[in-house]
Amino acid sequence: MSMRLLKKIINRALNSDGSVSVDSPEIIKAVTDNPAFPYLVSFSRTGSHWLRMIMELYFEMPSLVRAFYFKDVADFTCYHTHDMDLKLRRENVLYLYRNPVETVYSQLCYYKEDYNDQERRHYWTNLYAQHLAKWLVHDDFTKKKTVITYEGMKVDMAHEFVKICLHFGEELDVCKLEAALEKSSKAELKKKTMHDAQVVNLTTEYQINRNVFAEEYTDRIYSEIYSCEPELQHWLPKFS
């Protein structure tokens, strides 16, 4: 991808929050035609914006399809997708997943659905169960895959991020990571994602309702997930 073409695309895609939508067909074709190009795969509402901001600051290059800081480079770390239709098959993958209870709650809130609605709760639980099963249990197509968790990032980012560095053939620079973390707080994330105001929800009401939801539905959600794929118990006990 030439710098001239990239800048032309960026100039027409600049958002009010300063981030850039890099969704040009030329760029997308260039990366998707390369079977070895890295993909970051994550179900919606699992922390991908935060991770991509940290990766961009650390590696000093953005991921597709949004650049938050480094808007004048012609290289990208990876292509991010949610794979919500479960059709994606790539050989080089970073897979990010999260506590399914918080994920389901966040999805319901994002789409302004009643979290006591059994049908909608089951829909999101089942869809996430299929997503987790595809990428954690049934995957027979990746040649290189690194699995990370949102909870692991919150507890010990260095422990999770070293896996990402190794995926890209690099050693972890702790000082660089700490500098990236200082610049990617929740407040900064909210500022950088004004194109979608619901990416970060900092309200006390949201957090209180999330706790109520967890108390009421945690057992049911895990039961439904394990009914869909029993082997997921090997991947999820840390959240139970």
Question: For the chain, first and last CA: distance in Å?
Answer: 45
pTM recorded for the entire structure: 0.88
Which of 163, 92, 95 lies closest to 133, judged by CA? 95
Class of 3-239 in CATH:
alpha beta
Structure tokens at 131: 């997503």
Residues facing 154 on adjacent strands: none
pLDDT at 136: 98
pLDDT in tens, 8-49: 544 444 455 668 888 788 888 988 899 999 999 999 999 999
74 touches 83 (CB < 8 A): no
3-state DSSP assignment of residue 77:
coil
pLDDT at 27: 84
pLDDT at 31: 87
Q: Is 8 left (phi over 0), alpha (psi -120 to 50) or beta?
A: alpha
Low-confidence ranges of the chain (pLDDT < 70): 1-18, 186-202, 238-240
Output the CA angle 182-40-174, nearest 5 degrees: 30
pLDDT at 10: 47
pLDDT in tens, 122-138: 999 999 999 999 999 99
pLDDT at 12: 43
